[in-house]
Amino acid sequence: MGNEESSPVDESRPPQTLSERTVKALADYILSGKVSKIVVMTGAGISTSAGIPDFRSPETGLYANLARLNLPYAEAVFDIAYFRENPEPFYALAHELYPGKFRPTVTHSFIRLLYDKGLLLKLFTQNIDCLEREAGVPDDKIVEAHGSFARQSCIDCTRPYPREDIERHINAKEIPRCPVCKGLVKPEIVFFGEQLPAAFFENRTLPMQADLCIVLGTSLSVQPFASLPGMIRESTPRLLINKERVGGLGSGTDDVLLLEDCDSGVRKLAKACGWLEELEALWSKTAPKAAAEVAKASSGLPKTKDEALNDEIDKLTREVDDALNLSKRHEEKVRGEKTSGTSSSRSARKTSSPTSTDPGNLHESADGNLNHIFMPRTVTATLAPADSLHPVDEAKKDITASGGDDKQ
């Protein structure tokens, strides 16, 4: 069952399990004590309100860096054969999307609430963003059908790679390599040309045990994930919260449709169950510290002595760091001017000619990183060649030293 349409159920046919095909009836069913095994199936629609950019939209900014690398086609960034030849585009994307930069949505917290109430049998997700985990859904309750950033390994020897190490490389805009065989390291996201995780096939029939199925924010257009709602028993209610009807949902006698965005839909269900306050409280715990501070400032409440002291220490630390950075940049600038005649040519040769005997420097700049991809957004495409970026970076330092914007 994919995203094909089927005729909606005849309204004259009574439901088998629910009293009626409404959110209230569904809530009554959940609260009746007859529900203990809820299967949730999710897609990208549950993460859009988190601010995660649309992968394909040219206005999101994700392709602003990737366009310089002249991808043969958009999906090449997730093609395993292309990744082996050129991992730069994927790691440029990973730098933008890596977990920790986005807050889980109300929908993610709703799934966590189902777990807290002992109702979640399993979450099947197509998303790679790990926001379910950040919302507090435990690993053993999640089946990531297309993999995720949660784990990483070498694509050659399959040796697991430490999370803290890949975080360091991604934050530094570097390409990680296996310390043993020097093969490329990749998060265990399923690329084109790779098999789905074994966990998906091991749990694929689990929906048959469910007494409720909730489908959230997915087009159900990718197989074999799209077949999951069809695994549900005929008498088991299915709830679809999505902006459009998909996958034939709505044709079952106990199907309930909420054709709207996921966050508003789960709030409606939570309210009908009497859980709305719990849901909002749970979601508030996912707010970053900065958001909590802004909320407190806007409330007009005075800061405690400890908070005021910490603020002052943070301010002094930033001022010292800024002063040291400016001094370092000035020193580097002066040194660069003195040695530009010889060192620039050596740097250019090193950047443009990686040695075939050292796999660690393939696809990387002379500094072993991806800074040649992450150019300042004000620099035009005519400055794209890697060996021409050092003067641009130097000019950027001058702008910073004179009070300009140093954001990338």
Answer for the pair 36, 118: CB distance below 8 angstroms, yes or no.
yes
What are the beta bridge partners of residue 42? 125, 216
Choosing from 146, 169, 372, 390, which is the catalytic residue? Answer: 146
Distance from the Cα of residue 391 to its chain's centroid: 34
3-state secondary structure of 404: coil
User: What span, in angstroms and rounded, lies between the C-alpha atoms of 306 and 405?
Assistant: 32
What are the beta bridge partners of residue 123? 40, 142
User: What span, in angstroms and rounded, lies between the C-alpha atoms of 40 and 30?
Assistant: 14
Start-to-end CA distance of the chain, whole Å, equals 44
User: Tokens 């099947």, residue?
Assistant: 124
User: Tokens 């095994």, residue?
Assistant: 37
Distance from the Cα of residue 334 to its chain's centroid: 41
Is 146 labeled as catalytic in the residue annotation? yes
Handedness of CA 56, 196, 93, 54 (dihedral sign): positive
User: What span, in angstroms and rounded, lies between the C-alpha atoms of 230 and 223?
Assistant: 12
Half-sphere exposure of 298 toward its Cβ, with a 13 Å CA cutoff? 6
Closest CA to 30 of 279, 271, 282: 271
Strands of 46-109 (E only): list them: none
Closest CA to 189 of 299, 83, 344: 83
Handedness of CA 212, 217, 219, 222 (dihedral sign): negative
Q: Cβ of 143: how many Cβ atoms within 10 Å?
A: 21
Closest CA to 224 of 122, 77, 126, 140: 126
User: What span, in angstroms and rounded, lies between the C-alpha atoms of 336 and 286?
Assistant: 46
Q: Where are the alpha helices (DSSP H) in 32-148?
A: 62-66, 80-85, 88-97, 106-116, 131-134
Residue at 301: amino acid letter: L
Q: Which residues are part of the catalytic machinery? A: 146
